[in-house]
Amino acid sequence: MNESGTPLPLTLAAFSLQPVFPIARIHEKAERLGLGFLVIGGHAVNVYCAPRATLDVDFLARKDDRQRWCALLIEEGFRLQNESENFLQFSPPYGIRFRLDLMLVNDATFSRLRESAQRAACLGVEVLIPTVLHLVALKLHAIRHGPVGRKGKDWLDIENLVRGAGIDPVGPEMRELFDHQGTPELYSEFRKRFEATGTTDELNEPGTPYAFDALDLPVAPTWFSEPPQGSMEDGFHLSLMAIEQVRNRAEIFVERERQRCNVEFLWRT
C-alpha cells in the first residue's frame, strides 16, 4: 500500500512471484508489529541499476528487534540457518532455496538510513530502500569486512550505482563518503575501477575486475549500459532464474553461508 492506504497496482509478474518471495506478507506482518526494515543488497541496487540476479533477499533492521523478527519469520515457516551478533540468516519454507538475510544495526544507524530512504514498489507493496550513497556505504562495509570472493560484485554494484545516479566519482560527495565509510586505499581502487574503459567483451575477459564470474548469473543484457534502467521486479525474475539454475548445487549455498560480513555496520559522521 502507499501512504494513503491505497493498494499498489499488482502486476501479473509481481503476483506470480509473491508465493516464492513473500515480501508482501512479511511487510504486512512487520507493519502490524511495528517492525521497521529497509530492503538492501542486490534487490535494492536493482531499483537504481539495470537488474542483476541475487540468491539473497536482504533486510536492514534494528538490533533491538532481533527476537521479534525471529518470532515473526519462524511463525511464517522460515528456519534460522545462521546467526551472529549482527546478522541473521533464514531459509524459506518453500522449494526455492533463496536466503533471507537480516543485517542488524543500532538505533542511530537505522534511523539515519531510514530518514532519507526512498520508497520503491516491491511485489505489490511499497518498501523502503536506502539512498544511493547509503547503499554505496553498505557496499564499502562489505568490501572492508566481508570475504574476498564477493568483492568484485560489490565493486560492480558501486560503479553502477554511481553511474546510474549521475554522481561525480571525484566530487565532494564520494570523497566524503570514502573518508567516513571507507579508506584512502579503497578510494584509490574506486577511482581506478571507475575510470577503466573497454567494451563489454573486454570487461568480461578472465582476470579483469569486471569479469562476469564475479556476478550471480543471469544478468540483464543491459547490465553495462549507461544509463542503467532499474527494476526491482525484473531483478526478482532474474533471481528466480538463477536460483533454479543452481537448485541442485548445494555447495553454492554452503559457500554463500560462509560469505557473510559479521562486523557491525555503523554510520560514521
pLDDT tens-digit map of 96-123: 678 899 999 999 999 999 999 999 988 8
Q: pLDDT tens-digit profile of 237-253?
A: 888 888 777 766 665 55
pLDDT recorded at residue 128: 96
pLDDT grade for 15, boundaries at 50, 70 and 90: low
pLDDT grade for 36, boundaries at 50, 70 and 90: very high
16 touches 2 (CB < 8 A): no
- More confident call, 155 vs 227: 155
The CA distance from 160 to 167, in Å, is 10
pLDDT grade for 215, boundaries at 50, 70 and 90: very low
pLDDT recorded at residue 29: 95
Q: Mean pLDDT score of the chain, rounded to an integer? A: 81
- The structural domains of the chain, with segments of one domain joined by +, span 12-258
- More confident call, 147 vs 69: 69
pLDDT grade for 49, boundaries at 50, 70 and 90: confident
pLDDT grade for 37, boundaries at 50, 70 and 90: very high
Select from 3.40.50.1480, 3.30.460.40, 3.20.20.140, 3.90.1150.10 the CATH code of 12-258: 3.30.460.40
Mean pLDDT on 157-177: 91
68, pLDDT greater than 50: yes
pLDDT grade for 10, boundaries at 50, 70 and 90: low
Strand partners, 37: 61
pLDDT grade for 158, boundaries at 50, 70 and 90: very high
pLDDT recorded at residue 85: 93
- More confident call, 217 vs 24: 24
pLDDT recorded at residue 12: 54
103 touches 267 (CB < 8 A): no
